[in-house]
Amino acid sequence: MSNPAILTVDDDPSVSRSVARDVRRRYGDRYRVVRADSGQAALEALREIKLRGEQVAVMLADYRMPQMNGIQFLEAAMDIFPRARRVLLTAYADTDAAIDAINIVDLDHYLLKPWNPPEEKLYPVVDELLDAWLAAPDETITETRVVGHRWSAPSFAVRDFLARNLVPYRWLPADEAEGCRLLSAAALTHDDVPLVVTPDGTSLVKPTEADLAAHVGLTTTPTEDFYDLVVVGAGPAGLGAAVYGASEGLRTVLLEQRATGGQAGQSSRIENYLGFPDGVSGAQLTDRARRQAQRFGAEILTTREVVGLESGGSARLLRFGDGSVIAAHTVVLATGVSYRLLDAPGLAELTGRGVFYGSASTEAPSCSGQEIYIVGGANSAGQAAVHFSRYAKRVHMLIRGGDLRRSMSQYLIGQIEDIDNIEVHPHSQVIGGEGAEHLERLTVCDPRSGQARTVDTSWLFVFIGAEPRTDWLGKAVVRDDRGFVVTGTDLLADGRRPPGWTLPRDPYHLETSMPGVFAAGDVRADSVKRVASAVGEGAMAVSLIHRYLETP
């Protein structure tokens, strides 16, 4: 990170060089001296410094400049760096204007030109101003910044993407001071959000996830055209396959469309995973697994949408949405499942603006002191309820059944029963939502009696159903009537091998109807929907891959 800046601006080249030289001579070892020859050029320099998250300590501006005089410049500069100390350089004839500027731009000092000797007339003034600035400097920012509107679905999508990919960022509402200053520095308006500013000062306006990934340090492009193993999906099963594949010497690449971790990565607390007696968050578990896979040499590519799978002789070909292709000896399908959309009037329009699918942990602090509603009765919903109870005034769990025992682990049921501000509403389902800029009301119905009630809330989190992410497979592999991938002996209908099977042996346990393509985790038909079993299947798939590769 660069030293704080001292900015000098004067349209007279000789004076500009003189003031910059004198300032650099005294302060160059601690401050970066930035010189501009016009007010407009100085503002552009300030905007660049602002976008990089750096600091400006003092600004010295000449009063008499064409197009934009010193007072006009300092007035505009205040909007970018309000804490920077401001000095106006004037001739004797302009002292009245300098005095007026004290009120207009909260001027800290004015200096008469020439200021020789600087040891008597310049440095004591700047010393005092630097001491004052150091007592309350602007904050140096090293993380990515996101400027957006509170109830904006695109703004939420950017924050959620960064959070799930474990990219540190700072959220700045567009209607608050610092957000406005960043928009101004990027020459944007409140309509140009979300704005993402990376640590190097790059501005991304309404970025796609692919653009975002490319600028925040996530890898999006494979280094090779051919691999031993391609893993599609970076949830627990995919991460398990990547760790074991790479650790056993297979050239391995892991493809993820959105963020590593899958649904498990969104979990606020996993307490029944082996080896973590105090529990572990999904983000922590994901981060450790991701780093472990990379340490063994696996490549992890983000924002890569796979749209097709086909056989190419002994190779398996995966086609991306941009038309490019990657090939491998073997493939592990670990795309997991997604939450089913809640089909009720008004909710689709409010998605990302009060209606969220999954835990959306980025929203938890914003729920402080409010009433929130969670739809779902499985472990993911229970973990979210426990997490949000630390922030919300009350957490309402809406479940269709009579109680939680049928679908939730006993340890979670016990926790929920012990938390005073969690209330479970049995025989309840959401049948509608309303709101202007964001969710404001829900209509909840008892399906037995048909009796409905309206509740006021700005927060609905949905955890229902499990839909496999397999539409892109088409007829490449056999799937059941719900879309889950069929594997192993389940493919042997009436003892016959699946259509198109070309090998003299039966499919291995996790192998699909395309030889060399395996499925692991929640995407597989009749799998156990637990993190530990998904990781185990990912590891088992690699063991079966070795058998496949070693068999003539």
Tell me what pLDDT residue 94 has: 65
371 and 310 in a common domain: no
The H or E element that residue 507 is part of is none
Domain annotation covers residue 550: no
Q: Is 136 exposed, middle or buried (0-12, 13-18, 19+ CB in 10 A)?
A: exposed
Domain annotation covers residue 391: yes
Mean pLDDT of the chain: 92
129 and 12 in a common domain: yes
Do the beta carbons of residue 328 and residue 299 sit within 8 Å? no
Tell me what pLDDT residue 267 has: 81
DSSP string, 250-308: --EEEEESS-TTHHHHT-S-B-SSTT-TT-B-HHHHHHHHHHHHHHTT-EEEES--EEE
Domain annotation covers residue 220: no
pLDDT band at 552 (very low <50, low <70, confident <90, very high): low
Tell me what pLDDT residue 137 has: 78
CATH number at residue 356: 3.50.50.60
Gap between the Cα atoms of 242 and 475, Å rounded: 26
Tell me what pLDDT residue 502 has: 87
Tell me what pLDDT residue 492 has: 93
110 and 188 in a common domain: no
Gap between the Cα atoms of 484 and 521, Å rounded: 11
415 and 525 in a common domain: no
362 and 445 in a common domain: yes
Gap between the Cα atoms of 229 and 215, Å rounded: 27
Gap between the Cα atoms of 457 and 272, Å rounded: 32
CATH number at residue 24: 3.40.50.2300
83: tokens are: 């804490």
Gap between the Cα atoms of 179 and 147, Å rounded: 6
User: If phi over 0 gives left and psi between -120 and 50 gives alpha, with beta otherwise, what is residue 166?
Assistant: left
187 and 255 in a common domain: no
Q: Per-residue pLDDT tens for 429-450?
A: 999 999 999 999 999 999 999 9
Do the beta carbons of residue 298 and residue 254 sit within 8 Å? yes
Q: Per-residue pLDDT tens for 188-209?
A: 999 999 999 998 889 999 999 9
421 and 387 in a common domain: yes
364 and 289 in a common domain: no
Give me the number of domains the chain comprises.
4
191 and 90 in a common domain: no
3-class DSSP assignment, residue 333: strand
pLDDT, mean of residues 165-189: 92
Tell me what pLDDT residue 43 has: 95
313 and 273 in a common domain: yes
Domain annotation covers residue 368: yes
314 and 381 in a common domain: no
Tell me what pLDDT residue 270 has: 85
Instruction: Please identify, among 187, 215, 243, the residue that sits at the C-terminal boundary of a domain.
Output: 215
454 and 490 in a common domain: no
Q: Per-residue pLDDT tens for 59-102?
A: 999 988 888 998 899 989 988 999 999 998 887 656 676 677 67
Domain annotation covers residue 423: yes
Reply yes or no on whether the pLDDT at 7 is more than 90: yes
Instruction: Please identify, among 167, 182, 215, the residue that sits at the C-terminal boundary of a domain.
Output: 215
Tell me what pLDDT residue 114 has: 78
Domain annotation covers residue 552: no
pLDDT, mean of residues 138-142: 74
What residues form DSSP beta bridges with 395? 372, 422
CATH number at residue 180: 3.40.30.10
Tell me what pLDDT residue 236 has: 95
Q: Per-residue pLDDT tens for 349-408?
A: 999 999 999 877 778 888 999 999 999 999 999 999 999 999 999 999 999 999 999 889
Tell me what pLDDT residue 93 has: 57
Domain of residue 261: give its range. Answer: 226-325+470-540
Gap between the Cα atoms of 437 and 372, Å rounded: 17
Q: Per-residue pLDDT tens for 224-265?
A: 999 999 999 999 999 999 999 999 999 999 999 988 888 888
Tell me what pLDDT residue 471 has: 95
Domain annotation covers residue 221: no
Tell me what pLDDT residue 1 has: 57
